Structure 1
Amino acid sequence: MSAPRAGVGIVLVSHSAEVAHSVAGLARGLAGGAPAVRIAVAGGTGHGGLGTSAELIVAGAREVDQGAGVAILADLGSSVLTVKSLLVDGELPDGCRLVDAPFLEGAVAAVVAVSAGAPMDAVEAAAGEAYAYRKS
């Protein structure tokens, strides 16, 4: 019997720990529980306030990295800039990508894709396609 294939990890970066945890829970729930999907949240500052923590982002990426890539979704301006800076400085594991997607809808799409065994390129594409979701 072969070992299970390593899946893409997901890091949700929000200015709020509560928002990051809620989005992770919703995405996991809508993906049927998705027990095999590794999701880390990097919400708020290290001291529990609103903001972005580079340390939490790096720790989250390392936690979910299994060698198949890590899709990082960020909510607002400075969280995006922090992830970009960490990527440029080489502080994140190889294979990490900042995914251009709406935070909530993109997270759901990414978790569903990972739960189906999609590789990194397909996870990124699925999350990005969430921009096309129309509500009217």
Structure 2
Amino acid sequence: MVGIVIISHSSKVAEGVKELALQMADNVPIVAAGGTSDNGLGTDIEKIILAINKVYSEDGVAILFDLGSAYMNAQMAIETLSDEMQKNVVIIDAALVEGAIVVAVESSIGKDLTEIQEAVKGLCLHKMP
């Protein structure tokens, strides 16, 4: 089952999105990686790396994010992973709440990373490369 990492500049937002997604698919591994290590607003690469490792499986990990700098930190976190792990981790460019719910539901019914990415295409917001 594809795991999910929710990155937000606010730990409360990340936890809230996780809570909503789990209401729709309570069997999916989801970790919130919100805020900084000192509980401030922002994102933390170490939190993101820990979150990826916590939900990682060979099925992969989908990362969702709120703002552009969270995207950059997700990219940097992925770069620290082994080559094998990097192949199984994707950043999903979608509306955070809606994207998390769609990814959670799709993961819960056994969809793979490619199918999940296809399912959220219409929810893209940021147009990241």
- Using the size of structure 2 for normalisation, the TM-score is 0.87
Deviations 1:29-79 (A, max 9, x none): 1x2xx2320001100001111000001100000000121110000110110
Contact 1:102 1:128 in 2 (8 A): no
Q: Are residues 1:68 and 2:62 paired? A: no
Task: Note the aligned Cα RMSD (angstroms).
Answer: 1.6
- The one of 84, 91, 96 equivalent to 2:81 is 91
Deviations 1:89-125 (A, max 9, x none): 3337331111111111111110110111111111122
Whole-angstrom distance in 1 between the partners of 2:29 and 2:61: 9
* Aligned residue identity for 1:120: L
Amino-acid identity (%): 36
Q: Are residues 1:59 and 2:50 paired? A: yes
- Using the size of structure 1 for normalisation, the TM-score is 0.83
Q: Match for residue 10 of structure 1? A: 4
Q: How far has the Cα of 1:84 moved from its partner?
A: 1.6
Whole-angstrom distance in 1 between the partners of 2:34 and 2:42: 8
Q: How far has the Cα of 1:128 moved from its partner?
A: 2.7
Q: Which runs of 4+ in 1 moved over 6 A?
A: none
Q: Are residues 1:115 and 2:105 paired? A: no
State the number of aligned residues. 122
Q: How far has the Cα of 1:86 moved from its partner?
A: 2.4
Contact 2:7 2:64 in 1 (8 A): yes
Contact 1:106 1:128 in 2 (8 A): no
- The one of 17, 22, 38 equivalent to 2:16 is 22
Structure 1 residues 27, 35: closer, same or farther in 2, change over 3 A?
A: closer
Secondary structure of 2:98's match? Answer: helix
Any unmatched runs of 5+ in structure 1? 1-6
Contact 2:5 2:33 in 1 (8 A): yes
| Structure of higher CA gyration radius | 1
